[in-house]
Amino acid sequence: MEQIIANGLYLGAQYALIALGLTLIFALMNVLNFAHGQMYVIGGFVTYTVYAQIGMPFIVGVLASGATLAVVGALVQKFLFGPVIRKSMREESTMLLAAGIAFFLDAVILLLFGEKQRGVPKIVNGIFNYNDFTIVMPYDRILVGALAILAIAAFILYMQYSKTGRAMRALAQDKVAAQLMGVNVEHYSIIGFALGAMLAGVVGGLLVTITGINLGMGGPTSIKAFMMVMIGGAGVISGAIAGGFILGMLESIGLSVLASYGDITYLVIFASLMVFLAIRPQGLMGKPWG
Amino acid sequence: MVGAFLLTVFAVVPWLIHVSGRWDFYYTLTSVALLSIASGGVWLTFYIGRINIGQGAFALAGGYVSAILITKYGFPFWLTLPLSGLFCAALAVLIGLPILRLRGVYFAMITLVLTEVARLSALALPITNGARGISSIPLPGELSIFGLTLIPAFSTLGNVKLAFYYLATVLMVVSFAGLYRLVNSRVGHLCRSLQQNEELASSFGVNIAALRIIAFAISSFLGGIAGSIFVAISQSIYPASFPVNDSINFMLNCFLGGLGYVFGPMLGTLIIYFGWDLLFTTGQYQLLIYSTILILLIVFLPNGILSLPVFNRRGAGQ
């Protein structure tokens, strides 16, 4: 039991970080970023290149992942989403654009990094053993989990207390009012997109040490991120964190309880999600009709 | 206009293929016809203002219904074709009742999840035979009424590809004629009112709940029959036959053609499918070039190809 909770917490911390990026982009621009999973994969590959191939320290790799994705996110917002949002007659166009970008990033990953599964050497060796095998957890997982929680805390503090964070929260709350108060929408949209993409990159960099990385992980990661956002409520930061930890817990419990019935954990999670959304369409903490 | 189109589809294209000897084009064009039927369904859900990324789920469900009925219960294909459509429509009513209350990105996300649910269900349920799928499904047999043969058994035909081509294109023409009729009827106008403002429509006394269920059911019906013909062509089905990418492509087809035009999905499917095939020669850069063109099209033509002035002099099917 303790083991299940520990696994759930570790998974939840990673998931929450992915969901935070997605929900931030959604809150600011009403854009559902289909390419989020691909951004996560790029983050993983950048860390793989910097840490495993060039041989720099692991933390440099994670920072490089974050920085690369921040640049990618800023460019995508400045040259693609910004113009389309301004020009299009229907808001659905942004979704099509996001799907196009997901394909594009897949192509870039394929050309730059190939389609092989990549892994990196362990960052810390050894296994943490608490109370004679009640909780068993490799040290590298603990480290990665702690780094993820640290990143979440830093993000929340940034959103809460910095000028940029305040401006972005104002934009998410009421775009027109924020504009009237002198918030530069375009400027902060770019920063917001860069920040959201950066979070995806950082998780990619962290998780490459545990699961490795390959081209096909993009789509499933996006779907998981969508689920977390739906559980918590789209565009709400606390909701994304809650959604991440809930999904992590469910996955951890499902994998141990439902193991005897075959690989149906996700089927059960999906089905319960649909029932949950039928009762509460806006998620746990979302505004109705986001 | 319509006559020219029908003549092209039913006479000119087979003649051209016959002359050039490129028999493989039948398969390509059959796929385009079937994909555009499914995309037409997606388009209808767009018409009531919902972003539907779940058509892959219904195509998969339709395919499995057809495959199971044929192999396990010995139903003839021609009976399973409408049955798979009706099964999907019923499924859509069941699922639609709760999820059609969602809007915008919520509906988009839940339908995307639905595609994944369909794949996982096909893997987990005992009747679908798991990851091995169902294979060696017989070709469609004879269709006859009172001893009068309407359609001969496909296995006795010399050219199965041509038979499937006609089957798919006839269904495509019928589906789109139906869609066109629907959109230009009273119900169609009511659907457009849903797209613009549901509360307002509801306050006029439009039964919005019933309308969106009907639209979603028709959409899924089209997805189901497209899936069941695909199964008949490939004679097999697997849980991975209609992955998430297919669902996204159905949506892209509609967008590319233009969401405001009934025949948009047909044009979009044709362009996307052929564009992808033509780029095959570019080898490893295929996906890169394809997605770049796609992004450029969206940036410069956000309202679809049919919104170009060339098509709008006499209102192309608007």
CA dihedral of residues A203, A209, A215, A217 (deg, nearest 10): -60
What range does the domain containing B277 cover? 24-312
Q: Which domain holds residue A133?
A: 2-215
- Closest alpha carbon within chain A to B118: A267
Contact B262, B46 (CB under 8 A): no
**Does a structural domain hold residue B202?**
yes
**pLDDT digit string, tens, across residues B120-155:** 888 887 777 777 778 778 777 776 666 666 677 776
Task: Please answer yes or no on whether B284 and A110 come within 8 Å at the CB atom.
Answer: yes
Q: What is the ipTM of this complex?
A: 0.80
Total structural domains within chain B: 1
Question: Cα A212 to the chain's mean position, in Å?
Answer: 16
Q: Which of B105, B120, B285 faces A26 most closely, judged by CB atoms? A: B105
> Residue A71: its pLDDT value, please?
95
pTM for the full predicted model: 0.84
Q: Which of B42, B251, B295, B305 to mutate to test the interface with A (most CBs of A within 10 A)?
A: B295
The answer as to whether B94 is a domain residue is yes
Place of tokens 């830093």: A154
Binary contact (A290, B105; C-beta < 8 A): yes
| Chain B contacts in chain A segment 3-22 (CB below 8 A) | none
> Where is pLDDT greater, at A126 or B73?
B73
* Residue B102 φ then ψ, to 5°: -75, 155
Q: Does A259 touch chain B (CB under 8 A)?
A: no
Residues 30-89 of A with CB under 8 A from B: 30, 32, 34, 80, 83-84, 87-89
Tell me if B2 is assigned to some domain: no
Give residue A290's pLDDT.
Answer: 41
Q: Is residue A280 part of a domain?
A: no
Measured distance CA(B34)–CA(B227) in Å, rounded: 8
* Owner of token pair 């690989």: A263
pLDDT band with cut points at 50, 70 and 90 for residue B317: very low
* CB neighbour list of residue A229: distance below 8 Å, 6 or more residues apart: A19, A22, A23, A26, A239, A240, A243, A283, B109
B→A interface, C-beta within 8 Å: 46, 51, 95, 98-99, 101-106, 108-110, 112-114, 116-117, 120-121, 123-124, 244-245, 248, 251-252, 255-256, 259, 284-285, 287-288, 290-292, 294-295, 298-299, 302-303
Task: Please give the radius of gyration of chain A, using alpha carbons only, rounded to the nearest integer.
Answer: 19
Residue B11 within any structural domain of the chain: no
DSSP B223-246: HHHHHHHHHHHHS-B-TTSS-HHH
Domain membership of residue A146 (yes or no) is yes
Residue B157 belongs to some domain of the structure: yes
Chain B: residue whose CA lies nearest to A115:
B284
**Chain A residues in contact with B91 (beta carbon < 8 A):** none
**What is the tens place of the pLDDT at every residue in A53-87?**
888 888 899 999 999 999 999 999 998 888 888 87
Residue A286 within a domain: no
Spatial contact of B258 and B318, defined as CB atoms under 8 Å apart: no
Q: Is residue A136 part of a domain?
A: yes
DSSP character at residue B145: E
CA B33 to chain centre: 8
Q: Is residue B255 part of a domain?
A: yes
Question: CA-to-CA distance for B318 and B309, rounded, in angstroms?
Answer: 13
Longest Cα–Cα distance of chain A, Å, equals 63
- B245-263 pLDDT tens trace: 888 888 888 888 877 788 8
Q: What is the pLDDT of residue B25?
A: 78
Kindly state whether residue B317 falls inside one of the protein's structural domains: no
Looking at residue B318, what is its pLDDT?
41
State the Cα angle at B46 between B41 and B47, rounded to 5°.
95
Give the pLDDT of residue B313: 56
Contacts of B286 (CB under 8 A, 6+ apart): B276, B279, B280
Number of domains in chain A: 1
